[in-house]
Amino acid sequence: MSTEDAVDTSRASVKTYVPAYQKTQWKEHADDLGMSQSEFVRTMVQAGRRGFGASPEEIENAPKGDSGTTDRTDTTAQQATNGAELGERVIALLQREGTLSWEDLVEALTDDIEERLDDTMAELQDESKVRYSGRHGGYTLSEDR
């Protein structure tokens, strides 16, 4: 679709049903990102479309909502579109382990991020970019950064 084509940018409602725990997770993630639930779901759907055959041009030229697209949502979408890598990891897990429940998949995939985060935090502390502050109850940027 070229940007010269007339596009209907009026809003339309989409309704779906998800388990309550999933809605809670989505709300928490949206809150963490400073996004509304609608903005979060729109961003994740658009990001996911890349993994289902929508071309980058189709995604890029899709009409934006009233709020447009911010750097934050672009970054979130980019992170979410690492689906090819994630998809490869899921396939490798299933080939190695056979059938896995949703919870087992999540656990297997998040274990990796915990290890990577631990290594990254150790590196950042070695480089004096971040430090752990017991007084503040967590990690903080180093003052001499």
Q: Determine the pLDDT at residue 73.
A: 46
Nearest to 89 by CA among 108, 116, 114: 108
Under 8 Å CB-to-CB from 124, ≥6 apart: which residues?
A: 130
Contact by Cβ (8 Å): 61, 1: yes
In a domain, 105, yes or no: yes
Residue 59 lies in a domain: yes
- The pLDDT value given to residue 83: 53
Question: Can you give the residue range of the structural domain that contains 26?
Answer: 20-81
Q: What pLDDT is stored for residue 43 in this prediction?
A: 81
Prediction pTM value: 0.36
Structural domain count, the chain: 2
How far apart are the C-alpha atoms of 9 and 68, rounded to whole Å? 11
**pLDDT tens-place values along the chain, 145 residues long:** 455 567 777 778 888 888 888 889 988 888 888 888 888 888 888 777 766 555 556 555 555 544 444 444 455 445 544 555 778 888 888 999 999 898 888 888 777 677 788 888 888 999 999 988 888 888 889 886 5
Shared domain check, 103 and 68: no
Output the pLDDT for position 99.
92
Per DSSP, helices labelled H in the chain are 20-32, 37-50, 56-60, 71-80, 83-97, 102-126
